[in-house]
A and B are shown apart, each in its own frame.
Chain A
Amino acid sequence: MHCLHIPTSLKLTGISVTAVCLLALLSLLPLTVWSAGTGDAPLPPPEEVVRLGEKMYRDGLFPSGGEVQAVIRDDVQVNSASFSCVSCHLRSGIGSIEGQILSPPTNGLKLYKPYYQYNPVFPEPNKPPPKNMMDRPGAKPLYRPAYTDETLAAVIRFGVNPSKRELNPVMPRYLLDDRDMSILIAYLKTLSAEHSPGVSKKEIRFATVIAGDVPTERRSEMLAILDAVIKNHNTKAKKRNKNINLGGNRYVEASFNYPFFTLSRWELTGPPATWRAQLDEYYRKEPVFALLGGMAAGSWQPMHEFSEQNKIPCLLPVTDLPVISESDWYTLYLSRGAWQEGDSAARYLHRIAELPQDTSVLQIIEDSATSRAVAAGFAGAWQELMRLPPVTVKLGHREQLSPTALRQLLRKEKPDVILLWTSGQTGAILSELAVGPEVPKRVHVSSTLLNHRLVEIPDRARLFTFISYPYRIDEVKEPFHVNARAWLKKNAAPVTDQRISANLFTLTKVLLEPFQVVKRDFNPAGQGNGLVIMEEQFEMMMHVRRNYYRDYLLDVIDMMADTKSLAFERVSFGPGQRYISKGCYIIKLSPGDKPNLIRESDWVIH
């Protein structure tokens, strides 16, 4: 097979007119002259090929380090560092639908199979059209034949598939030489090649982690809602599987019965430094597909690192102390927790209160992880907004700030703003501040540090106390909220002011929807026997079932529409977004034992 080679210089310089011309010229040649075989240089060992291929697929970088070059619509140059294969086909390679664009699977398992499609319905004269998809004629026109290495290389370079059909114009045409193409194709063959651990034909195993000394009522509330979610899936799956397998039914036994969900409890004891080893041991004994919910007496970091290193999704742990990261992938948090409260306070002072640039801030931090997290959130945003760093007073373990020490501090610093990132002693300090001699203009506190007992803020301090409040304010009677509360009640999941059920109700979306049990299926009898019929249409609906890959579960969640929440004003998803609630109100309290929450800001403050 004759091979063509693109000059190496093309990879190293920015794409040029020459490159575009070269691509156009090459496109005139018969596709068969291209080869996906090795170029002059031998391929590296298989593990290295996968690593390099992943770099091309995810980062748009050549094995040599330069950016892969591509064009759209003949003359739109694409910067592959910001628009690579993973952008549309996602990490799992199973594809996506977004912006009304269908990106089909690119994993080898599916590329190297022929695709068929249903016949369009052409009703016979005087006969009504069939009501259901499955009543359509059984013939299966070929959508496209299986790819070969050669035709795959051709479609990547020229956007023309083995049926000689042109792909959607948003698919870039990539300038790859034979060796780089071989590396990319070798990677695609390893992508989502086999189901993830924790999956069998009969069940998908999940676990929830309870780490350290978690109060009984909190863990009971969490386990109740998790059990309700699992039970909901299993009840539907049982009913559906029974129908599928009924003798005499129009369905024959299929290989895609809905697996049941199981949930294990991974209880971690002792100091946090030992949690990781305990997690590893649990996982060794019982590999699970994903972790659900979870609670810890302390930071979620050990579990976060476990998920990240083992590539195990962890969906919605209930924690005020998530790991704040822009790039980590496998833990999907409810919010940024306590950190968000500090961040929102800083942005409120800058954008809404519009305090002068030289505003002085006094920050009081107690010796707790939550206090430090709120302070870190404030510091990050305050620095980004190019403000003067706050003066920080760190209290020792269980140290109380005495009235005398507080007065001395205020006399010395004369702050425009006080950040009181304290818990138990907040009420007492606010009372002291309220009696003067100089009443402060602004004191910011955290509702999480107050353990949501906002009423402890004394009446006389409420005019100058601003609270970071990361939950929705109004009780809503919209259908979503009415139905959600009815669902919790029906499934005996207690709803308390801890908001655990309210938070984890979102699992009915991020877990149950991807594994949705449907009453009727696209696939008539025989679909489970290896033919790929309309599978693209399944995947474009973003269902995990039959694609039991951990990365695909996260891909599916990433592509979900924003939704309502019992706990938060709004939750939203997006590729790589790992904190589904992004908001936090700044509020004040009205006087009295049952104060109103007075909104001082929007839900999201930039």
Chain B
Amino acid sequence: MRHYARIAVALCLLIVALPALVPVQARAESKQYKRSVEGYQMPDVTLINQEGKNVRLKNLVESGKPVIVDFIYGTCTTICPVLSACYISLQNKLGANTPKVHLVSISIDPENDSPRVMRDYLKRYRAKTGWDFLTGSRKDIDAVMRGFDAYIPNKMSHYAVTFIHKPGGNSWIRINGITSTSEFIEEIKKADISF
């Protein structure tokens, strides 16, 4: 049965991948991500950052700063490096304004992502101050993923999704897919975040 399930997944992915086979010119103008505005209920959980410090998620979201959240893991091979490249590219673009936006990556592999693994990850990407990587108990991480309507039971089936939150209110811009840096900045500005 497992084999047939894999076949089904393979075929689904092939169908999903078909747009990628469309000739370049036809796709040049189309965006490669989906955007929506959502409201989410955050669970009241305390996570652990790369320095081993406790971080209450609610305090982080309500800190008064714009917050951007994604879900990654330290040994990920495909999606997470791209998401992280977008984060660091954004930080580079923001320059002196980098501390004005809080970038948050939440681990979806909490068994392996210890503070040390997360520290090494951020160092490898040359993250600047203002980008935190959070881990926690499996139960809390699952609750956070569910809170963002981004729950996946298996980290290998994760997908690129980023959330942008401006201070105040409960509104989040949800971005499914990979943006370019200019698109990312455009979306941040749409959230009335100025820097």
List chain A positions with a Cβ less than 8 A from chain B. 72-79, 81-83, 87-88, 90, 96-103, 133, 160, 164-170, 351, 384-385, 513, 516, 518-519, 522, 537, 540-541, 559-562, 570, 572, 574-577, 582-583, 602-604, 606
Contact = CB atoms under 8 A, between A and B. Distances in A.
B14 A537 contact: yes
Interface stretch (B37-45, B59-67, B108-116): B108-116
Contacts of B183: 73
A561 B156 CA distance: 6
Given A83-B82, A559-B156, A100 B76 contact: no
Interface in B89-107: 89, 92
B32 A169 contact: yes
B12 to A, nearest CB: 9
B69 to A, nearest CB: 17
Interface string B175-187: 0001111110000
Contacts of B24: 160, 164-166
A582 B9 CA distance: 29
Interface residues of B, number: 62
Interface stretch (B15-23, B142-150, B165-173): B15-23
Given A170-B79, A576-B75, A97 B116 contact: no
B95 to A, nearest CB: 14
B122 to A, nearest CB: 10
Contact of B180 (A75, A167, A570): A75
Contact of B76 (A99, A102, A537, A560): A99
A136 to B, nearest CB: 12
B79 A79 contact: no
Interface of B: 2-3, 6-7, 9-11, 13-14, 16-17, 20-24, 27, 32, 48, 52, 73, 75-82, 84-86, 88-89, 92, 109-112, 114-116, 124-126, 135-138, 154-160, 178-183
Given A77-B85, A77-B89, A88 B78 contact: yes
B14 A582 contact: no
Contacts of A74: 180
Contacts of B76: 98-99, 574-575
A381 B73 CA distance: 21
Nearest to A513: B2
Given A75-B181, A570-B111, A606-B52, A98 B20 contact: no
B10 A577 contact: no
A100 B13 contact: yes
Contact of B78 (A99, A522, A540): A99
Contacts of B115: 606
Closest 9 CB pairs of A and B: A99-B79, A83-B81, A73-B180, A561-B154, A574-B75, A582-B111, A82-B124, A541-B6, A98-B78
Contacts of B159: 99-100
A163 B89 CA distance: 31
Contact of A83 (B6, B52, B85, B154): B85
Nearest to A541: B6
Given A79-B125, A574-B109, A72 B27 contact: no
A106 to B, nearest CB: 13
5 contacts: A79-B85, A98-B77, A98-B79, A603-B111, A604-B110
Contact of B124 (A81, A99, A166): A81
Contacts of A561: 154-157
B6 to A, nearest CB: 4
Given A100-B157, A576-B75, 9 more contacts: A79-B88, A79-B124, A97-B13, A98-B156, A99-B160, A351-B52, A537-B14, A540-B13, A541-B7
Contacts of B11: 537
Given A83-B82, A99-B159, A169-B178, A75 B77 contact: no
A103 B78 contact: yes
Q: Which of A100, A582, A583 gathers most chain B CB within 10 Å?
A: A100
A511 to B, nearest CB: 15
A133 B14 CA distance: 14
B155 A574 contact: yes
B20 A166 contact: yes
Contacts of A167: 20
Contacts of A576: 75
A477 to B, nearest CB: 20
Most B CB contacts (10 A, CB to CB) among A76, A78, A519, A570 go to A76
Contacts of A164: 23-24
A73 B10 contact: no
Given A79-B88, A88-B78, A133-B7, A168 B20 contact: yes
A183 to B, nearest CB: 23
A75 to B, nearest CB: 5
B13 A102 contact: yes
B20 A606 contact: no
Given A79-B126, A166-B20, A606 B180 contact: no
B8 to A, nearest CB: 10
A562 B154 contact: yes
Nearest to A516: B3
A563 to B, nearest CB: 9
Contacts of A351: 52
A540 B14 CA distance: 10
A101 B22 CA distance: 17
B178 A170 contact: yes
Contacts of A541: 3, 6-7, 9-10
